Structures are given as structure tokens and as C-alpha cells.
């Protein structure tokens, strides 16, 4: 009788241990653990969130030095490559800020001849939005820098 109580206690304990480890394993692979779901690791300062991913960006990490004076002179000297443009509406203009995603359909690619004269930064591309020149992270579409009224 004493042996049967020991066996029942032993099997009950083993069943509890096995079932609790199965529950923990299910939380890690399923919807129980939200902390690691769909993260894109990159840089780390400003976060942009949409329904599919979290993108962390550190605007200080790459240490890009942009000589705005030289860029403005280059743009002014090569006016034949960009022509006239209109300013953006104020609501859209406010959305063009460092660390924010590039609004769809707003920015235009620059003429390749003009891009060849601008400084090249690996992983970034120059774009134009209204009268502003944008340096955009090519992989994510996040604005790295805005040079206002360059195309004025």
C-alpha cells in the first residue's frame, strides 16, 4: 500500500512537470511571447512601428558628415538637371523630418547626372521632395537628413 502511494505521487509529479514545460514551450513558439515577434534590428534611437515590424534607427550611429554648403552649391551649379519645382503643402512638409518614414509618392529620384556630383554614402540615397533634398536610408525608407529649400 505504501509503495502504491509513492508511485501515484511520483507519476502525478512527473505529469505536472511535463505539462508545465509543454505550456512554456507553446508560449515561446506561438502568440504567448510578443517581445521577439517581427523585429528588425538595425540602429537604435528612434522607433517606427507598423503592423508588421519594429524598425529601430540610431541617427547618430553611421556618423555621416554632410557638408550642406557644398551640396547647396552643387545643386545650384547644376540647375539644368532639376528644373523648377513647387513647394509641398504644409501638412506634408511637416512629415518630412529626420527619423520619420518617407511618405509614399512624395519624393522623386534625382537625375543620375546630379546624383553623380553629390557625395555618395553607402546604403543611402538622395531624393527630392518639393524644394527639399532628402538623404534616405535605402533599405528602410527612413529619412536620415532633410536639407530644406535646396531647390529654391
Give the residue extent of every domain in the chain: 2-37, 60-147
- The tens digit of pLDDT for each residue in 95-115 reads 999 999 999 999 999 999 999
The x, y and z cell numbers of residue 59, run together, are: 541617427
For the ranges 2-11, 20-29, 47-56, 62-71, the one whose mean pLDDT is highest: 62-71
Give the E-state strand segments of 12-110 in sequence order: 39-40, 46-49, 54-57, 108-109
CA dist., res. 74 & res. 71, Å (int) = 5
Which letter, b or e, does each residue of 88-99 get, where b requires 16 or more Cβ atoms within 10 Å of its Cβ? beeeebeebeeb
Q: Classify domain 60-147 at the CATH topology level.
A: Nuclear Transport Factor 2; Chain: A, (3.10.450)
Mean pLDDT across 72-76 = 93
Amino acid at each position: 500500500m505504501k509503495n502504491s502511494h509513492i508511485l501515484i505521487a511520483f507519476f502525478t509529479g512527473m505529469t505536472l512537470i511535463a505539462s508545465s514545460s509543454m505550456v512554456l514551450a507553446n508560449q515561446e513558439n506561438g502568440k504567448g511571447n510578443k517581445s521577439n515577434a517581427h523585429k528588425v534590428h538595425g540602429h537604435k534611437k528612434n522607433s517606427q512601428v507598423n503592423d508588421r515590424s519594429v524598425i529601430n534607427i540610431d541617427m547618430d550611429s553611421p556618423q555621416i558628415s554632410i557638408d550642406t554648403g557644398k551640396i547647396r552649391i552643387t545643386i545650384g551649379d547644376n540647375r539644368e538637371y532639376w528644373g523648377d519645382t513647387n513647394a509641398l503643402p504644409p501638412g506634408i512638409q511637416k512629415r518630412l523630418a529626420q527619423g520619420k518614414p518617407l511618405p509614399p509618392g512624395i519624393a522623386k529620384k534625382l537625375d543620375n547626372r546630379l546624383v553623380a556630383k553629390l557625395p555618395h554614402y553607402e546604403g543611402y540615397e538622395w531624393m527630392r521632395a518639393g524644394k527639399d533634398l532628402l538623404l534616405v536610408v535605402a533599405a528602410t525608407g527612413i529619412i536620415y537628413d532633410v536639407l530644406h529649400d535646396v531647390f529654391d
